[in-house]
Amino acid sequence: MRRIPLPRPEIRSGDSSDDYEDPDQVFPKPQAVNLAEDPDQIYSKLQSVNMADRDVFLPVPVWGKGRYNSLCSDDELLDDDNEPISSHRSSWQDYGLSTLQGSVYLPVRGRVLAPPPRDGPSPETCPVLKIGWLDKNPTQGSLYYQRRWVKLDVDYLRYFDNDKEVYSKRIIPTAAITGVTNVGEQKFEVVTANRTFLFKAESDSERNEWVAVLQNFTRGRQEGSREMTSLVPPSFLTPGSPLTPEQQGYLELRGLRSKLYTVVSGDKVFLYKNMEDYRLGIGITSIDMNVGNVKVTDRRSFDLTTPYRIFSFLADSEQHKEQWVEAMRDAIGEALSNSEVANQIWAEPSNGCCADCGAAKPEWAAINLCVVVCKRCAGEHRGLGPSISKVRSLKMDRKVWTEELIQVFLLLGNERLNRFWAANIPPSEALSPTSCSEDRRRFISSKYRQGKYRKYHPLYGNQRELNNALCINVQCSDVLETLCLVFCGADVNCSTGQTDCPSPLSLALAHNQKLQAQFLSHNLNTELPRSEVTGDMEPRHYSPQHPVTHNGFLFKTASMVRPITERKAREEFSRRWCMLNDGNFSYYESDKTSTPNGALKSTEIVCLSVNTPERHGYDHTFELYSDSERLYLFGTDDQDSHKEWVKSITKMFIPSNAEALLRLSFERIGRLKYKDGLNLQSPRVGWFALVGSSLHAYLEDSEEEEEIHLRKLQELSIQQENEVLVLVERGRTLYIEGERKLDFQGWCVGIQKAAGSAGDSLSQQQLTEADIPVIVDRCIDYITQCGLTSEGIYRKSGVNSRVAALCEAFRRDARNVRLKEEEHQVDDVSNTLKRFFRESGEGLFTIQAASAWLSTPVIPEESKKISQYQLLLSRLPRVNKATLRALVNHLYCVQRFAELNQMNLHNLAIVFGPTLFQTDGKDYTAGRVVEELIEHYTDVFEVDEQQLKRQLDEITVIIKVREKLNLNSSVPASGSAGDFICTVYLEEKKETAEQHVKIPGSMTAAELTCEILDRRKIQVREKDYWSCWEVSQKEETERPLHHLERVLPILHSLGTDSHLLVKKNLAMEAILVYLASKVDVSKHGMVKFREERSILGLGLNTGSFHDRYFILNTVSLRMYKEVRSNRSEREWQVKNLRVYLGIKKKLRPPTCWGLTVIYKSEKQEKPEKQQWYLCCDTQTEMREWFSTFLTVQYDGNVWPVDAVQTRVTRALPVDTRHAL
């Protein structure tokens, strides 16, 4: 939260007695609270008064008082309460924020003449409970009532000048209303803590209606307020005092002689008369920023424009202005990206009404129950606790809304769901949008905690059948049926009986049922509805730690301070009575003794590891590690008891936010310190579980579980004298620190083992990102670079001893094998690949499916044959499928160059048939399969022909360069062949700065940069952002390559007037600082746009620059004719854009801060290329756009986390080839 220092009050004599209380002292300042956290904690946070912040707050200024006494009474500066209409109309108009029609300064600049767009985004999304004309009480000394248009919704009671006005004169949070009373003569009072509002209706019956709805609405609140305080985050209670203001302070609204206390919070801007009012939540109006736009008008002033009005603000200083502008722009961004998810979810019509009470435009959802609910119902859902209902906001919890989760909500929808959840509701129990909190609580608890109204599944009560049905159903797309099964008792964590897919979740994933998987993953720990819970209407307080108790006998050795390397015999164990209670694990001499021999608190346990059976004298053992570096070994012969203990102990020491780890069958689980991303300064705490070849993690600040595929790591090393384990994934590096030696050693050994190959089948190998064994990828890459012209490639045999050594090296640690032409012979590598396939455990086609593949060539009709191949392909395990695709692609390329290597289709098939099917090669059946796969490669694998063509072009270039080198160069052919040689300049294009560099296919921009700097012996200092640039002289543009971008394809695409240049990126520091300050990645604003148009293909440029409004988010860039446009004129996928700095001067860009953008669509039917230009007003603007493009295109990985990493030469998988 940022605060602007308040303006020094203009204290007048007599007014200096400052008897205002510091608001922080009275009401605790709202703090940032995590909605997912324990409500009790939220409550205690609210209770704690942050004294440290007090000094920041200056006393509330009292300057308004004296000044306005002459004009109006001490209240209602902007409201006309104090001013009888007849007498003072003109004077209050001076204050600006009154009606649209009569404002003194608004009509010229401020007023927007166009009527509000009818179908446009309405600033009002809350369901209106009651609306109508009322007369508001006259002010002191006046007899006249004022006619007001009054509107009540869930959050606010507001009144307006008339029924056309969008911005209220007064906004009172319903939560601030303490009483509503009938005072006779068609009148009623609305009472708040410090003010009473008197209204008069046109009739008694109308008055009674208002009183009834207000009372009904506020009574539930007040009665439930004690529970509400503890269960509901404060935003529910005090919508008027925003939870975490982004910016707050006094701002002058032009034309108004006083300053307003202005608060930017979330996607709204609130205006208050002063800070006191802000504290009480009673404001003037709120401005929804989804229709807003901010424009700087002068050094200290700026306009907030909406379709309905322009608010002209004046800040105290230029610096403050910038802070306000930025905060308001952020709020716009927030509003725009916020409504994105909601609008998507509401696309299903029945999601437009609350699943529980029917209120319109519900903005919350229970993501495990799959219902969309309104704010009031969401409050009650939250009261059920996250084990029953996981409540998330459609607008604020953006991270949770993955594409799949949104799809689940669209697929199901409130209406279909209610046919299950609400199949049997007695009319007397049903809710309406105006139901009171008490009714809501009762209904929602009955509906979801007890499952009282649900439609029972025919299998209800039969656990085995339910589980069985669940396992079958998750393989198809019927998520609703899965939901019915689960909420009728099917066990989400039941055993499927399949070793490769042990759980319904893994089964769903294996069948590519992503929506099913999404649903299951949110229900792994859900407490099922229990009808037997009756009469328990007390709001249940959710406690994150379920009290765990467990006891029984275990066998224990003496505790140790070193890892256990030897087998512990039965004699070394002693029988102990063990108890888990109250967060303590203690062991006793026997079940009769009352003093324990020893005990471990849950907070002391840092790791638990499960040993493989029969490792020690007792069959089933586990190890506990304490933070004081001791190791305890426990054992039993009873497998079930072992399982139960492991489950109970882990449940005790794993915190609730990471408890999803408990569902895994881990070998090791515990907490470790780690660093990653931009946070390399201070290590944070993460919870990790090692399962097979995966490391699952709950990292601090992240709600989502992360899974790291250890066999897919690009690098795994132990650094700094065994104290840091470095895991390099594509695009990110995780450093795990050895906080304590003992358990860290165990983690290192376990992770290293899990990251290596586990056997000889394909899936047990170290894999690339694309799920291809590293050995296969490296060999194919090498042959493509160096072996395509080698005569008889794959038929000639290599030197046996060298092939064996290479196979062994790959088997040991494929990741660290680098094939180099100087060191390795083409035929040795080709035979290594063949030997790997021949010896791989179950073969590429798998033992079960091999015969089906072998019988396919006899199918006479070609189209049927291809379909059969496709069917068989689709049934292969993931890794086999990816590998077969990569291999056939490779063989296809090899035979395309048969005139050079003499290996045509048939020759290759003879070699690879028996190799891949692991047969003796006596008949040609196996060869026929391989031959047909290569022949029909594009059909069977549905290959993008464009991409294939590019790949072949690339190979042709490689071959040509090799030929050239072999003919012309004095360098021995084997020395430099295979790589592209190119000229790279250092810092500027001149002959003396020229460097000739060999560019292997895998070389990244960062590697090239290092190579150049190394050659010139240039030391890289901190904050020297050396980059490789693509420079076009003709277009007058340049672009820094991304550090992971491969150079070779760029080289191929460069025209003759372009070159590569290595120089520092001077803007990078500013880019990183800007990005670090952003909460979300999106940007929007006005930019001048011009399109490249050529007339009759003559390349004549026409057109000029026009103002357009752009919105850039993580997926697309959209262009609007103007801010208020509802529909975008154009939309581009960000991934298809390439953004260059600069615009050629010939086009006469209005400023020098321009970007040239090239759009290339990859669509098969109609490849498209466009070029257009964006021109910004300032360098900062341009830099922000450019930064946002970068971070969107590279998932936030704009600069390598540590410079050292870029120096590690490593071959990245060649995307263009495997992505076919």
- Residues found near Zn ion in the complex (CB under 5 A): 354, 356-357, 359, 374, 377
Q: How far is the CB of 641 from Zn ion (least distance, A)?
A: 47
Residue 790 amino acid letter = S
Which bin fits 220, alpha (ψ -120 to 50), beta or left (φ > 0)? alpha
Q: Are residues 190 and 157 in contact, defined by beta-carbon separation less than 8 angstroms?
A: yes
- How many helices (H) and strands (E) in the chain? 36, 44
**Of 986, 1038, 979, nearest in space to 1011 by CA:** 986
Residue 431 CB, shortest distance to Zn ion, in Å, is 7
Q: Evaluate the CA torsion angle 636, 642, 644, 645 in order and state its sign.
A: positive
Phi/psi of residue 762, nearest 5 degrees: -60, -45
Q: Put residue 1119 in one of left, alpha, beta given phi > 0 → left and psi -120 to 50 → alpha.
A: beta
What's the rounded Cα separation, in Å, for the pair 747 and 607?
9
CB of 440 to Zn ion, least distance (A): 7
Please tell me whether residue 660 adopts helix, strand or coil conformation: helix
- Look at residues 770, 816, 710 and name the one whose alpha carbon lies nearest to residue 1209: 816
∠ CA 294-295-298, rounded to 5°: 135
Find the shortest distance in angstroms from Cβ 34 to Zn ion: 24
CB of 410 to Zn ion, least distance (A): 20
Whichever of 361 and 675 has its CB closer to Zn ion, that residue is 361
By C-beta, is 300 or 361 nearer to Zn ion? Answer: 361
Residue with smaller CB distance to Zn ion, 342 or 940: 342
Kindly state the smallest distance separating residue 1160's Cβ from Zn ion, in Å.
Answer: 47
Of 435 and 1004, nearer to Zn ion (C-beta) is 435
CA distances from 370 to 24, 230, 437, 446, 997 (A): 40, 25, 22, 17, 57
* CB of 80 or CB of 356, closer to Zn ion: 356
Least spacing, CB of residue 430 vs Zn ion, in Å: 12
Residue 1057 tokens, joined: 């007037």
Which of 237/492 has CB closer to Zn ion?
237
For Zn ion, which is the closer residue by CB, 357 or 652? Answer: 357
**Separation of CA 779 from chain center:** 36
261 close to 61: Cβ distance less than 8 angstroms = no
855 neighbors 816 (Cβ within 8 angstroms): no
Residue 174 · residue 162 · CB < 8 Å? no
Considering the complex, what minimum distance in angstroms separates the CB of residue 384 from Zn ion?
A: 14
Q: Are 653 and 603 in contact (CB under 8 A)?
A: yes
For Zn ion, which is the closer residue by CB, 440 or 1088? 440
What tokens does 833 get?
A: 């690949």
Given the complex with Zn ion, which of 83 and 439 has the nearer CB atom? 439
Residue 374 C-beta: closest distance to Zn ion, Å: 3
Measured CA to CA, the distance from residue 372 to residue 412 in angstroms comes to 11
| Shortest Å distance, C-beta 453 to Zn ion | 15
Q: Which is nearer to Zn ion, 354 or 658 (CB)?
A: 354
1006 burial level (CB within 10 Å; 0-12, 13-18, 19+): buried
- Closest by CA position to 767, among listed 755, 783, 759: 755
CB of 539 to Zn ion, least distance (A): 17
| Cβ contact 63:10 at 8 Å | yes
Query: Are 244 and 233 spatial neighbours (Cβ–Cβ below 8 Å)?
Result: no
Residue whose CB is less far from Zn ion, 437 or 518: 437
**In angstroms, what CA-CA distances link 584 with 626, 650, 1017?**
13, 12, 60
**Shorter beta-carbon distance to Zn ion: residue 100 or 353:** 353
d(CA 841, CA 823): 29
Shortest separation between residue 396's beta carbon and Zn ion, angstroms = 18
- Between residues 359 and 807, which has the closer beta carbon with respect to Zn ion? 359
Min dist. Cβ of residue 129 to Zn ion (A)? 12
DSSP 360: B
Which is closer to Zn ion, CB of 154 or CB of 1112? 154
CB of 367 to Zn ion, least distance (A): 16
Measured CA to CA, the distance from residue 284 to residue 307 in angstroms comes to 19
- By the 8 A CB rule, do 793 and 787 touch? yes
CB of 377 to Zn ion, least distance (A): 3
> Which residues are registered as beta bridge partners of 1037?
1032
Pull the structure tokens for residue 1064. Answer: 């520092």
User: What CA–CA distances, in Å, run from 830 to 797, 798, 836, 885, 973?
Assistant: 8, 8, 10, 18, 19
Of 417 and 1141, nearer to Zn ion (C-beta) is 417
Pick 354 or 1143: Cβ nearer Zn ion: 354
Closest approach of Zn ion to the CB of residue 376, in Å? 6
Q: What is the DSSP string of 10-31?
A: -PPTT-----PPPHHHHSPPP-
**How far apart are alpha carbons 209 and 218 in whole angstroms?**
14
Q: Are 294 and 328 in contact (CB under 8 A)?
A: yes
Nearer to Zn ion, 351 or 1187 (CB): 351
Min CB(355)–Zn ion separation in Å = 7
3 state DSSP class of 798: coil
Do the beta carbons of residue 766 and residue 773 sit within 8 Å?
A: yes
For Zn ion, the closer of residues 161 and 356 by Cβ is 356
Using only the alpha carbons of the chain, give its radius of gyration: 35
CA distance 1159 to 1170: 5
Please tell me the distance from the alpha carbon of residue 324 to that of residue 330, in angstroms, as a whole number.
10
AA letter at 372 = V
Least distance between Zn ion and beta carbon 37 (Å) = 23
